[in-house]
Structure 1
Amino acid sequence: MTVRPRLIPVLLLKHGMIVRSQLFKVHQVIGNPMSTVQRFSDWNVDELIILDISRGEAGHDLRRDDLQQQYLGNTALDVLREISKVCFMPLTFGGRIRAISDVEERLAAGADKVTLNTAALENPAFLQQAARRFGSQCIVASIDARCTATGWEVFAEGGRRSTGREVVQWAKEVETLGAGEIFLNSIDQDGSGQGYDLALVRAVTAAVSIPVIACGGVGRYDHFPTAILAGNAAAAAAANIFHFFELSYSHGKQACLAEEIPMRPVGLGSQFLRREPEYDRPYEDGRIAKRLHQAETGNYGAAQPRATDHPSIRWCTACVYPSISAAPMEFDDQGVCTGCQMAQVKAQIPASEWRRRRDLLGELLEQYRCREGSRYDVVVAVSGGKDSYFQVHVLKEEFGLNPLLVTYDGNNWTEVGWRNMVRMREAFGVDHVLIRPSVMTLKKLNRLGFTVMGDMNWHAHVGIMTAPMKVATQHQIPLVFYGEHGYLDLCGQFSMDDFPEVTYRDRLEHFARGYEWTYFVGRDGLTAQDMAPWKYPTDAEMLALDLRGIFLGNYVYWEANEHIKLVTERYGFEVSHEPFDRTYRTMSNLDDMHENGVHDYLKYIKFGYGRATDHTCKDIRAGLMSREKAISLVNHYDPIKPRDLQRWLSYVGMDEDEFDRIADTFRDPRVWRMEAGQWIKDGLIGFDA
């Protein structure tokens, strides 16, 4: 029987979090593995490979009390057990396997196969023993290859150690030892987006008779079929691309099927595969009741791990971000965060590259410009802020498009923010749609969001990422534009060469914290009809329209301090006439008074830092502020309890004592400790708090 070629996503697991990889060296946190695996299950993928690339004994960082998906263990096995609960596809798991007992544990935890790399290189007999014990079909030999002066060489320990072994010879040897499959990864191509090393793939496939999985370098969907057609691989695998784009697996499959590769077709919208999470209602009710009981009794510590159970917090040595940041972040060996690393990369992009990106944007716009029957070229998601003005300026005035502006109205406007938003229609001569949910529904979601996840603005975060996509679907407009990718800018989640787009997974995991609209149905009298503004387009609708959410910052140089000059001088944009309580900037978040206020204060309560940290880090990276000045501003602004809290309390009918008691249940023990009846936290290392 002929085995069909496969398309295989690869997830890299580092200390319990999924990471993006570049040359096996730079790792940027994408998010938690469960939501990603659930998304792959939605797509009915052929197979999944998960590689644990953790170093040292540091545990995972998913014990955040504001996330819906959590687990209590801190080992790769704990993560694997949780993943297996949502994984409905063949699963291969690798990393930290040194003994037969390690293989047994991973298979018992939910893996169908295991990959062996360093252990097999150090002791080839171990691979042979594992194949005899569990069967060749269960053992995958992982080969990390790098091109050297003498040819392709095998590297061990995640690409860090040279072995002196030649790749093709080692591939023949692992086949003889009993491996049932080879997972071949090119270190040189990793994260490049330039395509597979086809010469490497062909050399290995020609030398062995067992299936070879090719990996490393995919940046476009049309790279996938080349691994099979030009490289003779049995499967095409990739990691990064599946994090960047909506319905990426479906598009990858379509590229292979278009080349007449006999793969399993991918189906979307199955009645048996529900995209939205299904929540354990009794369990979730219990979590809420427990929190309210803690707030009432003041017994916060009993339900939280001790601070000594967690890794110590450290701060970026270049900016002032802490390692517990709400945005996913990694640090290099010099203690520099990925946000600063990517800012350095961005600063080194020459003007010629920005011109090339602008040309790419022009090609993209021409490809999608005003389809027949549609009045509008693109949808632009706008809040009425400085970035909104800049987006519309670029797309309408510089590229000559007719955009439809879409705004989610969370009912928290500042006066100047409302004026800016209303002025956009006249300033640019465009149509503007406002999505304005029921105020009663908004009040309920404010209270529920605060109680469930310590964030009253769940409705706004999810609404902003939902309303423009819904309107685009209704009007059959395939392109939706947002400004900059927030996590790329703040924490360096992606490379500047990745061009990430809006995805349902990113919306659910990061913007919604794992709480989909379905979570709130039946709570406080809310119905499915009430939650309609937060329902995302279906996968089938998005695929049929080829709906894409584009971040303009990937194509156009983005610097807020420069944008503000243009939009104030040309379009009359107004900054705040009075300073915010919690940050020195007066040009940001004017559409929602609570973003810079009580919502941000809750971030401080949870993680020990706030908006002033965000803004100073941006200004440090832009060369506008010293780290010493930033520390002074952070220590002044971050602890302030803002005035707008009183508006919010009146809005939802809550008193300040109740607010404080519930907020205190979200304090992370890595940050906060109780001393003499007072909450205490450490300041930046080496400086007074």
Structure 2
Amino acid sequence: MKRSVEEFVVNAYFGLPEEVVFCKKCVISNQRPSSTVEFKHTNKDKKATIGFGVDGICDACRYAETKDAQIDWQAREDALVRLLDQHRRSDGGYDIIVPGSGGKDSAYTSHILKYKYGMNPLTVTWAPHKYTEIGWKNFENWIHKGGLDNILFTPNGKLHRYLTKMAFLNLLHPFQPFIVGQRIIGPLMAKKFGIKLVMYGENQAEYGNKTEENYKPTMDKNFFSISDPADMVLGGVKVGDIIKEGEYSLNDFAPYIPPAAEDLERDGIEVHYLGYYLKWDPQECYYYAVEHTGFQANTERTEGTYSKYSSIDDRIDMFHYFTTLIKFGIGRATYDAAQEIRNDKITREEGVALVHKYDQEFPKKYFEEFLDYIDITEAQFLETVDKFRSPHLWDKQDSNWILKHQVT
């Protein structure tokens, strides 16, 4: 019997497809959102999800095959050298901005640009919510052992905590304000220092976000199109509405307001991805960072996955992935395993086993610190989490929540 649109809206939140399908090559499902930072429980807010072809292979896996078979990487590197030559300086000034935390990806990006391609990068860091011990150690190694200049930018801590709290309560996305800052810190610093080239590492399209973006070397300028900063939404709340409460002014939000696309164009600022020019492999970035910048993996695996070296600088990071598990049925082990399957580091069978073992693990280590950081109780945390469990993904049996669909 054909089902009505209303039934689908009730059973599947966030505009997700109600039928859960897993990629036949990796372990990702069609529940992975592709390009949004805000979700609501209404049909009109439906967002696109990761694409699957008739062969049951996800877009990210198809692009991984393209990387191996169809891209002339020597030609791409030649294009990189031409781009760098256009911006290269010999007067002692910085000629490129590299945003990053000192993790494996930004360590690779900044170091190779300086020491292989002869650029003079200024690295810029949007500070984590709360550094981990290993994260701070790797940050210091990046600068001191890697031999790089850096500006560590920390936004208004009181405001950032508030925005993180609102993002958790309203969107179940505690990383939303952080992601905004992380994406715009490069262009903002380029404007401030009069530098024309910004180079991020990999494009998130590598993993399924708008895969057509993989075929463009530059960041989508739509991200920098905000007509009125007061209408910008942070933490699920308009900036103007937060200002009306009286505690903050528009000036307090300066670090979160992206430069206008037309201003970047007028100033000749270009925002590129190194992953367009050099074949991107996260594990190879890790090996490079270990050798050249003193990067160290953690002594223990990250809760929710099997990895010890990816996204290990922020104590809040694992709650970001826990919330993706709740909203989309996709936890951190799924993301890590899917990526490593595509890069031929593990088999799909190994990936499936790792997902089953770790994906639903609750992040206990920093739980009390997370509650304190966003100033909520454990009861508020659980109530908020349960509110965002989509009925097409979760079933409550007695007092336990059961994920209905798991990769096989």
TM-score (norm 2): 0.86
Are residues 1:674 and 2:357 paired? no
Are residues 1:390 and 2:111 paired? no
- The CA distance in 1 between the partners of 2:241 and 2:290, in whole Å, is 45
Instruction: Tell me what 1:275 maps to.
Output: none
Measured on the aligned residues, the alpha-carbon RMSD in Å equals: 2.8
Task: Give the superposition deviation at 1:318.
Answer: 0.9
- The CA distance in 1 between the partners of 2:214 and 2:106, in whole Å, is 23
Which shifted more, 568-577 or 551-560? 568-577
Q: 1:521 to 1:562 in 2, by over 3 A?
A: same
Q: Who wins on radius of gyration, i.e. which is larger?
A: 1
Q: What secondary structure is seen at the aligned counterpart in 1 of 2:272?
A: strand
2:88 to 362, 369, 376: 369
Equivalent positions of 1:472-483 (< 5 A) are: 472-483=190-201
Are residues 1:329 and 2:27 paired? no
Task: Give the superposition deviation at 1:425.
Answer: 2.4
- AA paired with 2:29? P
**CA distances 1:186-236 after superposition (whole Å, capped 9, x unpaired):** xxxxxxxxxxxxxxxxxxxxxxxxxxxxxxxxxxxxxxxxxxxxxxxxxxx
Task: Give the superposition deviation at 1:679.
Answer: 2.7
Equivalent positions of 1:177-196 (< 5 A) are: none
- AA paired with 1:547? I
- The CA distance in 2 between the partners of 1:59 and 1:548, in whole Å, is 47
Decide whether the 8 Å contact of 1:412 with 1:593 is kept in 2: yes
Q: 1:521 to 1:58 in 2, by over 3 A?
A: same
Decide whether the 8 Å contact of 1:465 with 1:507 is kept in 2: no
**CA distances 1:587-607 after superposition (whole Å, capped 9, x unpaired):** 111222322x11111111111
Equivalent positions of 1:385-534 (< 5 A) are: 385-486=103-204, 488-491=205-208, 493-495=210-212, 498-506=215-223, 515-516=233-234, 519-523=238-242, 525-534=247-256
- The CA distance in 2 between the partners of 1:458 and 1:543, in whole Å, is 26
RCO higher in structure (CA 8 A, sep ≥6): 2
Decide whether the 8 Å contact of 2:197 with 2:271 is kept in 1: yes
Decide whether the 8 Å contact of 1:339 with 1:491 is kept in 2: yes
TM-score (norm 1): 0.52
Instruction: Tell me what 1:265 maps to.
Output: none
Between Structure 1 and Structure 2, how many residues are aligned? 381
- The CA distance in 2 between the partners of 1:314 and 1:681, in whole Å, is 14
Task: Give the superposition deviation at 1:59.
Answer: 10
Decide whether the 8 Å contact of 1:410 with 1:437 is kept in 2: no
- AA paired with 1:619? E
Pick the structure with more strand per residue.
1
Instruction: Tell me what 1:550 maps to.
Output: 272
Q: What secondary structure is seen at the aligned counterpart in 1 of 2:233?
A: coil
Q: 1:508 to 1:347 in 2, by over 3 A?
A: farther
2:328 to 587, 591, 607: 607
Pick the structure with more helix per residue.
2
Are residues 1:587 and 2:309 paired? yes
Decide whether the 8 Å contact of 2:225 with 2:260 is kept in 1: no
Task: Give the superposition deviation at 1:357.
Answer: 0.8
1:305 to 10, 24, 27: 10
- The CA distance in 2 between the partners of 1:591 and 1:468, in whole Å, is 19
**CA distances 1:486-514 after superposition (whole Å, capped 9, x unpaired):** 1x2211632586124223434789xxxx8
- The CA distance in 1 between the partners of 2:170 and 2:267, in whole Å, is 35
Decide whether the 8 Å contact of 1:478 with 1:546 is kept in 2: yes
Are residues 1:653 and 2:375 paired? yes
Decide whether the 8 Å contact of 1:616 with 1:630 is kept in 2: yes
Q: 1:474 to 1:591 in 2, by over 3 A?
A: same
- The CA distance in 2 between the partners of 1:639 and 1:453, in whole Å, is 20
Instruction: Tell me what 1:357 maps to.
Output: 76
Task: Give the superposition deviation at 1:672.
Answer: 1.8
- AA paired with 2:63? M
Task: Give the superposition deviation at 1:368.
Answer: 2.2
Instruction: Tell me what 1:541 maps to.
Output: 263
Q: What secondary structure is seen at the aligned counterpart in 1 of 2:183?
A: helix
Runs of 5+ unmatched residues, structure 1: 1-56, 61-71, 75-303
Decide whether the 8 Å contact of 1:463 with 1:534 is kept in 2: yes
- The CA distance in 2 between the partners of 1:59 and 1:457, in whole Å, is 34
Task: Give the superposition deviation at 1:484.
Answer: 0.4
Are residues 1:561 and 2:279 paired? no
Q: 1:313 to 1:533 in 2, by over 3 A?
A: same
Instruction: Tell me what 2:40 maps to.
Output: none
Instruction: Tell me what 1:54 maps to.
Output: none
Are residues 1:633 and 2:354 paired? yes
Task: Give the superposition deviation at 1:521.
Answer: 4.2
- The CA distance in 1 between the partners of 2:118 and 2:400, in whole Å, is 58
- Percent of counterpart pairs with the same letter? 27
Task: Give the superposition deviation at 1:585.
Answer: 0.8
- The CA distance in 1 between the partners of 2:170 and 2:321, in whole Å, is 16
Runs of 5+ unmatched residues, structure 2: 35-48, 227-231
Task: Give the superposition deviation at 1:431.
Answer: 2.2
- AA paired with 1:316? C
Q: What secondary structure is seen at the aligned counterpart in 1 of 2:136?
A: helix
Q: What secondary structure is seen at the aligned counterpart in 2 of 1:529?
A: helix
Q: 1:634 to 1:496 in 2, by over 3 A?
A: same
- The CA distance in 2 between the partners of 1:629 and 1:682, in whole Å, is 21
Instruction: Tell me what 1:258 maps to.
Output: none
